[in-house]
């Protein structure tokens, strides 16, 4: 294992930033707009990982008692998406916060010459809003969102793109995330993966994803 990684790829929601309270606020404001029942924080936590569009589909399926396939092809989603967008743009940064030691650890990695990337399934417009709200944008050499390429995680395209851009080999890179999607992304790319246990893993313990390591605190990346 290299003493200093040459490139670190980070998931965003549940790894760098605790985002679910303000996502829940935006989802519930959207549901109220249509007079649908609200959902709980725990439900929203369990729906994070595939991007906010997919999260909204799961929420609508839950409250309207339609299948996911029906919501995906129905009128409710089309109407709800712009309302959700308006609310999430407003709530971004209001109730999210960085996990302990994120800023200092990223800073130290930068000083060590490590290339830093975000690889999230969140859509670009929200990824940048969250990073901006926490003054993190300048920290990263590369930001890849769920809609940056035609495929999102667990497709390894974001990792391959970064490695090729920087001329870094797989063994010199590390993926740090919080979910089975992150573990699968890293495995698909052939890079080691460390998982944090405090994020959003659809209600499952991260140990079940068989990561190379579980780290309790973000500073253990160093
Ligand atoms: O589901 C999302 O919005 C994104 O989740 P991620 O940052 O964990 O990839």
Residue 4 has pLDDT above 60, yes or no: yes
Residue 2 has pLDDT above 60, yes or no: no
Q: Which domain holds residue 50?
A: 20-91
Tokens of 168: 């870094």
pTM of the model: 0.97
**189 and 102 both lie in a single domain:** yes
Q: What is the pLDDT of residue 184?
A: 98
CATH number of the domain residue 146 falls in: 3.40.50.1000
- Hey, whose CA ends up nearest to atom 5 of ligand 1? 49
Number of domains in the chain: 2
**165 and 134 both lie in a single domain:** yes
**41 and 29 both lie in a single domain:** yes
Q: Note the ipTM here.
A: 0.94
| Range name among 2-6, 145-149, 177-181, 184-188 with the lowest pLDDT average | 2-6
**61 and 131 both lie in a single domain:** no
* Marked catalytic residue, from 11, 25, 45, 178: 11
Percent of the chain with pLDDT over 90: 98
CA of 120, closest atom in ligand 1:
9
Residue 1 has pLDDT above 70, yes or no: no
CA of 126, closest atom in ligand 1:
3
- Considering 44, 60, 91, which residue would you say is the last residue of a domain? 91
Residue 1 is assigned to a structural domain of this protein: no
State which of 15, 20, 44, 50 you would mutate to test the pocket of ligand 1, scoring each by most atoms of that ligand within 8 A of its C-beta.
50
Query: How confident is the prediction for the chain on average, in pLDDT?
Result: 97
**86 and 125 both lie in a single domain:** no
**81 and 113 both lie in a single domain:** no
Please say if 11 is a catalytic residue: yes
**111 and 168 both lie in a single domain:** yes
**31 and 114 both lie in a single domain:** no
């Amino acid at each position: 294992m290299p003493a200093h990684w040459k490139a670190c790829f980070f998931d965003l929601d549940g790894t760098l930033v605790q985002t679910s309270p303000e996502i829940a606020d935006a989802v519930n404001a959207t549901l109220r707009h249509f007079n649908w029942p609200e959902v709980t924080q725990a439900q929203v936590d369990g729906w994070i990982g595939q991007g906010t569009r997919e999260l909204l589909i799961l929420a609508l399926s839950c409250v309207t008692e339609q299948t996911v396939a029906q919501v995906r092809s129905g009128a409710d989603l089309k109407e709800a998406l712009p309302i959700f967008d308006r609310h999430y743009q407003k709530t971004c940064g209001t109730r999210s916060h960085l996990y302990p030691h994120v800023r200092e650890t990223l800073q130290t990695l930068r000083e060590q010459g490590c290339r830093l990337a975000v690889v999230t399934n969140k859509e670009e417009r929200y990824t940048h809003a969250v990073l901006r709200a926490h003054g993190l944008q300048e920290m990263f050499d590369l930001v890849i969102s769920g809609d940056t390429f035609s495929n999102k995680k667990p497709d390894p395209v974001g990792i391959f793109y970064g490695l090729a851009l920087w001329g870094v080999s797989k063994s010199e890179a590390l993926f740090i995330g919080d979910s089975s999607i992150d573990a699968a992304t890293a495995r698909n790319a052939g890079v080691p993966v460390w998982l944090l246990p405090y994020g959003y893993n659809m209600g499952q313990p991260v140990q079940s994803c068989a990561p190379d390591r579980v780290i309790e605190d973000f500073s253990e990346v160093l």
